[in-house]
Chain A
Amino acid sequence: MDKKFVLSSSPHLSDNESVSRIMYTVSISLLPAGAAAVYTYGLRTLWIILISVLSAMLAEALSCRVMKKPSTLSDGSALLTGLLLAYNVSAQVPLWLPAVGSVFAIIVGKQVFGGLGYNPMNPALLGRSFLLASWPTHMTVFSGAPPRGGTVSGIDIFTEATPLNVLRQSRDILGNAADYPIEKVTQAHEAVGKLYDSLDALFFGQIGGCIGETSAFLLLIGAAFLMTKRYIGWKIPFSYIGTVALLSWIFGGTDGLFSGNVLFHIFAGGLILGAFYMATDMVTSPVTFKGRLIFGTGCGVITVLIRQVGGYPEGVSYSILLMNLVVPLLDRWTRPKVFGGAKKR
């Protein structure tokens, strides 16, 4: 009997997880929010998403060829990066913009570091930041036909009609009321009131913003699904959003300290998308319990800092990218105490 047996190291059992399954599942959980954006902003949104995804995949396939490595398209990460990049631009951008952004995200954000697993920063956010720095007007214009279902109506004194922007500009007016004519101050008051009243619009996705930012409701459903599969945990999103909530309550209002509208700050802008889908990116977030809590808190602090004091109305992308850079240090500082509790040798 000359049978041949397989000799390999233990363990000889494995659960059925794989990298591609994780990537594709995360992509699928993002689709409802994208569908809502297509419904709200029109068919153009779909082209943006498709162009972004295809450019990302093409960039990956070509760079693999250039690097003389087998194609890594099947791991699903290029598709996910393309999708997330599309979600980070508005529905009004020229169609070449997401293509350029995706190519940058894949090549500079991931491939030059060695491909999947080696990149220090979130590739989609890196791509978005590149676009914002290179074509600021394209990236920050949110005008055009009002989104279906209504707008934060009656606010035509402002140029960039996203809720966070409206709040920002209102705050500037109300904070320096003496410098503005009385009608503007009144309108600013009204605007803030309307914003705070429009929470359900924010939640369900009828407000101006980027493609992926609009329907917090559908994003949360997707995130809840990913949590049941344990692809994302609670530590980063909850510490991130919790910190933003706390600091926005204290500093984010227009009536002095402790007057911030917490729910508004949570659902406006890209916080839900960022906290549940971008900050939780496995490759660029910490692996330890405490590390994740610190990471989320840090993202929250920087987000609020940028929103309140910095030059942009939205701070999610930069806060995550900055915290990404600190992750190796966090992992080292927060090593779990080994069983049997010896100090690190």
Chain B
Amino acid sequence: METTVGLRSRSFTGGIHPPERKGATEQKPIEDLPLPPYVVIPVQQHIGAPSKPIVEKGAQVRVGDPVSEASGYVSVPAHASISGTVIAVENRPHPLGPDLLSVVIERDGEDRWREDVVLSQNYLDLENREMLDLIRAAGLAGLGGAAFPTHVKLSPPADKPIDTLLLNGAECEPYLTSDHRLMVEEPDRIVLGMQVLVRLTGASTGVIGIEKNKTDAIAVLRKTVNTHGLPFRILSFNVKYPQGAEKQLIRAATGREVPSGGLPMDVGCVVQNVGTSAAVYDAVASRRPLIDRIVTVTGPGINEAKNLRVRIGTPYSFVFEGCGGLHDEIGKIIMGGPMMGVAQHSLDIPVIKGTSGIVVLERTDSRAAPEMPCISCARCVDVCPMRLMPKMLGQFVKHGLFDRAREYNALDCIECGSCAYVCPAHINLVHLIRYGKSEVMRQNQKKS
């Protein structure tokens, strides 16, 4: 393990340059979406075990009251994001799969908060253990989209010492600008949160990685870091998708490659999204639970694209009303960015902890081109940031050769979409590889 961190602005092999399409929202300050008439809080908004509801129909809740408790270590609670009455605890539409158990709260016309959500001036006097408990109690999960429970990420085992804490400000997906606006408008929360993160992980170095197209964010964060007298570095990277992917970010900042099948802690790194860092500050300094987040609502299908601060659980229909409504011929509603986001089936889907953006595409942008045979042009091999051979993986999966897919490192695919983006035959490689990964994992489980 290196004892000094070689911080430089590098890049990674492969990658693509999709059009950025951030012009509609990158200059728009964050706007608070009005409080919705009701919210739908699913028990699972994070990777890990679903939480268990602890309220029943009829319960009165304030903003910040927990409505579910964590079950097991890799789990986090969920909280009421508006004050009012619990009108149902039942299955509701969920953005990432079938309908899921959710706590539905109807607003009481006010915005009553839990009383102890108050800034404490000497939060840095807390022990590490206490800070981690606060982070967990606040229901924090990664806000970059993957939503991994933050307290778990900040508790690496003793045999994986951490020397570098990286904040991910790359935001490489087209259309999305929520992290950008957060960095420009609320840099103190991010930087003070980073101070906590560095302490909790024991890192000797703190770095914020940002893509070069966000010059204002880079400048603001540099200034903020200096103002607080913190020894953190800001590294700016050339714009290339997927620079914001965790493994590619680590490689670009430190030159280290996370081993295949491994985690960032294997190379002494912990990566957190800038939004998560801000939420960590709120949780530790003010006991503020995760009840809202910044969402970029954009795309050709929306009338007024905006960066909104949205309460968790707000249904998409209400979000769209706050943006002037949808166009007539809508094709896709995407949770997240257009490269890795998930297409949604209903306007009743709620905003959850990992909803970094909602991109609405028109019908004309949503048609799939007819699939042609693979001509071995190798563009997919050239662009894969994990140096895989997507065309081979796709063919193996098509023919049910899952052993060969495993041999060709299918499980290392980060599903970034670069391969399918460039494929001239319009083969949906990600779809095939995803299926292949699930089959390989299923077979692995059977063996063990």
Contact = CB atoms under 8 A, between A and B. Distances in A.
Same assembly:
yes
Interface of A: 1, 3, 5-15, 17-19, 21-22, 75, 114-118, 282-288, 331, 335-342, 344-345
A12 B339 CA distance: 6
A85 B260 CA distance: 46
Contact of A6 (B174, B343, B425): B343
Contacts of B359: 12
9 contacts: A5-B330, A10-B339, A10-B340, A14-B420, A14-B426, A15-B422, A22-B375, A287-B376, A337-B387
Contact of B424 (A22, A114, A335, A345): A22
Nearest to A342: B260
Given A115-B373, A116-B373, A336-B381, A5 B415 contact: no
B225 to A, nearest CB: 30
Majority DSSP secondary structure for residues of B touching A? loop
A325 B192 CA distance: 61
Q: Which 4 A-B residue pairs are closest in the complex by CB-CB distance?
A: A11-B417, A117-B373, A287-B378, A342-B260
Interface in B307-348: 317, 330-334, 338-347
Given A11-B420, A13-B174, A19-B425, A338 B340 contact: no
A3, A5, A337 — most chain B CB neighbours (10 Å) = A5
Nearest to A6: B366
Contact of A340 (B260, B330, B425): B260
A12 B365 CA distance: 9
B158 interface: no
A288 B13 CA distance: 14
A5 B343 contact: yes
B369 A13 contact: no
B214 to A, nearest CB: 20
Nearest to B409: A338
Majority DSSP secondary structure for residues of A touching B? loop
Given A18-B426, A21-B424, 5 more contacts: A11-B339, A117-B375, A339-B260, A340-B412, A341-B257
A282 B261 contact: no
A117 B425 CA distance: 10
B261 A342 contact: yes
Nearest to B414: A339
B368 A8 contact: yes
Nearest to B388: A338
Contacts of B408: 335, 344
B134 interface: no
Nearest to B267: A340
B333 A116 contact: no
A338 B376 contact: no
A6 B369 contact: no
Interface string B62-81: 00000000000000000000
Contact of A116 (B342, B375, B387): B375
A4 to B, nearest CB: 9
B374 interface: yes
A118 B200 CA distance: 55
B160 to A, nearest CB: 15
B428 interface: yes
B386 A339 contact: yes
Interface in B389-414: 389, 391-392, 406-409, 412
A338 to B, nearest CB: 5
Given A283-B376, A338-B260, A14 B430 contact: no
B343 A339 contact: no
A114 B373 CA distance: 10
A5, A286, A339 — most chain B CB neighbours (10 Å) = A339
